[in-house]
Amino acid sequence: MKPLARYMEETGTTLDQLIAAAGLDRKLVKAIVNGNYTPSPFERQRLAAALGISVDEISWGHAVPVQHLRGNGPQTGRAT
């Protein structure tokens, strides 16, 4: 299993070609290729078909580590 970007390199497929072949939104495809978004099963099917490979051959996980942050900050519970 390899990431989507690796298959694109191997086949010489550009981002614009993949977007046109898959019929998906440009911003979405770019995020998936960069590993910033995990696609739905439907999106996986479209992208794999656009490259002519099986969905199971592609590694679909995040390439960028996910950070779990608390949004409250240090001011929580204080009155100013």
- CATH classification at residue 45: 1.10.260.40
Residue 74 lies in a domain: no
Q: With contact defined as beta carbons under 8 Å apart, do 23 and 46 qualify?
A: yes
Strand, helix or coil for residue 69: coil
Has residue 69 got a pLDDT over 80?
no
Query: How much is the pTM?
Result: 0.73
Note whether residue 53 is domain-resident.
Answer: yes
Q: Where in the sequence is the domain holding 37, given as residue range(s)?
A: 2-59
Is 79 inside any structural domain? no
CB 64 within 8 A of CB 36: yes
Residues 19-59 have pLDDT tens digits of 999 999 999 999 999 888 889 999 999 999 999 999 998 88
- Provide the domain count of the chain: 1
Residue 67 domain-assigned (yes or no): no
